[in-house]
Chain A
Amino acid sequence: MIDVPLPTIRHNGPRPFPPRVSRFTRPFWTALEQGFLTAPKCQACGRLRFPPRPLCPACWSEDHVWIVLRPHGRLYSFTRIHVAPRALDGDLPYAIGIVDLDDGVRLLCRLVNQATFADIGREVETVVLQYDDGPLFAARLI
């Protein structure tokens, strides 16, 4: 059981490209708002689903419980983007990375650091970016 919320970094203004919230994904965004990054764990085969999906890609079961993911992971790779869609123009340049969490989940997210090539393979932890209209998840180098 993980009961310590993730570090939160405050951002003024709304999220640049906000996600939709559905009946299924609402628990994810509510938990993130409270500082917890979660994923549905399949009750039939035990597999974690990320990005969260209502049906398990491995066994097609809908049964799941939301579990809190441990914050620790490693940076698989990253890039810094210099040409963006209009919505993200104000963020340029921004870094995104592929993060492999210790729980066996691979995710894509923003990197809050100015990562360099030497940071690939290094340890990261997940954090919450709190905007005026809701949260996003991100990673930072430890």
Chain B
Amino acid sequence: MAAQVVREAATMAGVSRPDIDAVVVAHPGDHTRQGYFHTFLCSSLGIAAKGNVIQVLGNGMTGGHAFDQAVQLIESGRAECVLAVGVHFESGIPTAQHLDYSIRLTGDVDFQSIFGPVPISWYAMDAHRYMFEYDVPRDTTAVVAVKNREHARFNPLAQFRDPLTLDAVLSARPIVEPLGLFEVPARSDGAVALIVSTEARAKLTGQPYARIRGRGFDHEGIHQIADVPTSALDYSALTRAAHRALTTAGTELADISTFQLYAPCTIVEILATEALGLFARGSGAAAAANDATSIGGRYPVNTCGGCLSRGHPPEVSPLYDVVEACSQILGRAERRQVEGARLAMCVSELGKYNAALVHILEAHS
């Protein structure tokens, strides 16, 4: 599957096999039987590279790092045409077995993991606190699941495309309270390949292309939760990373046409929109309920359906987000198209938004 998406991406970009001079692979996780997947993939594809061949890993940011490393290889002049690829297959492993591994990731193994905090349980606690602090009922936060499903209905790549009602979201079985089945990500498989090249090379193709205009990163120095009482809801790493990205892009939030946010749960999308400054603290859920984050709204968020409906193969999700951002700004998003989209923001995160990586993409045609 990885080899097929690579061939498709190269064809779309007008790039042939010998043109690729570096390969960055999002680490496929512990489910993939083949180890050292990056060199295995190069061998399968017959790619010999002078720039670099690496596999990157960074929690939910893994796919974001793959894209970011490809961009940095171009910026540094070490490569002219980089393949960034991610592949993730987890559905072959039962959920409980998958959690044996992931419980060791999102907690201190000796003082937190011992109590069984599965990764999404941290977001569930954010959801409860948000409802408590801002007096927001669960059905207002749950609207995000319905909104994302509406977007996914018109995305041929999406895992879930059947209509979803608010009643169905609210009455689904609980997974990590207060979040039910449709407010947390399903288990997903997927693969994405991107070609990142110098602008000169992109121009040669004569095709429209997306330019990376801004980039920002921030890590707050915390693993999941702070060790002292403080707000767990402010996702301040995103605030700072987005500010850096907007500054390097020389643009403002109001000029961004569409946002692709790494948001495995409904509450995460809400808190991320607030941290970005799209909405005041405590009002993100109500804004989503009023269609402000829908296609056609003031700030369209996750036009592909997001982690909840497009699907969430964690190592690959941020790469899907770049695909969607490009589709939007190049006017190829068909029935999900945000009218006149020129600038798109992509955000990936790690931990509990303890870090954020932000890219701003611009259309060039």
- A residues neighboring B (CB under 8 Å): 15-20, 25, 48-52, 57, 76-89, 91, 93-94, 96-98, 100, 104-110, 117, 120-121, 136
Chain A residue numbers with a CB within 8 Å of B227 are: 48-51, 57, 105-106
From B173, B224, B226, A82 is in contact (CB under 8 Å) with B173
B176 near A76 with CB under 8 A, answer no
Q: Do A109 and B115 touch across chains, with their CB atoms under 8 A apart?
A: yes
Q: Mark B64-80, 1 if CB is under 8 A from A, else 0.
A: 00000000000000000
Are the CB atoms of A17 and B113 closer together than 8 Å?
yes
Interface size on B, residues (CB 8 A): 42
Interface positions, chain B 205-229, Cβ under 8 Å from A, are 221, 224-229
Number of A-B pairs, beta carbon distance below 8 Å = 129
Could you say which residues of chain A place their CB within 8 Å of the CB of B178?
79, 117
Shortest CB-to-CB span from A101 to chain B, Å, is: 8
A-B CB contact pairs (8 Å), 22 listed: A19-B110, A25-B110, A51-B111, A51-B112, A76-B125, A77-B129, A78-B125, A79-B124, A79-B125, A81-B121, A83-B99, A84-B96, A84-B99, A85-B100, A96-B121, A98-B125, A98-B232, A105-B228, A106-B230, A108-B112, A120-B128, A120-B132
Of all chain B residues, which has the CB nearest A102?
Answer: B229
Most chain A CB atoms below 10 A, which of B103, B114, B226: B114
Q: Bound complex: CA of A77 vs CA of B127, how far in Å?
A: 9
Residues in chain A near residue B221, CB distance under 8 A: 57
Asked, given contacts A86-B96, A96-B121, A97-B125, whether A79 binds B111 with beta carbons under 8 Å apart, the answer is no
Most B Cβ at <10 Å: residue of A82, A93, A109: A82
Question: CA of A95 to CA of B99 in the docked complex: distance in angstroms?
Answer: 17
Give every chain A residue within 8 A of B114 (Cβ-Cβ).
Answer: 15, 17-19, 136
Q: Which residues of B contact A50 (CB under 8 A)?
A: 111, 227
Q: In this complex, what residue of B is CB-closest to A20?
A: B110
Cα distance A105–B230 when bound, in Å?
10
Name the CB-closest residue of B to A25: B110
Judged by a CB distance under 8 angstroms, whether B109 is at the interface is yes
Contact A77 B110 (CB under 8 A): no
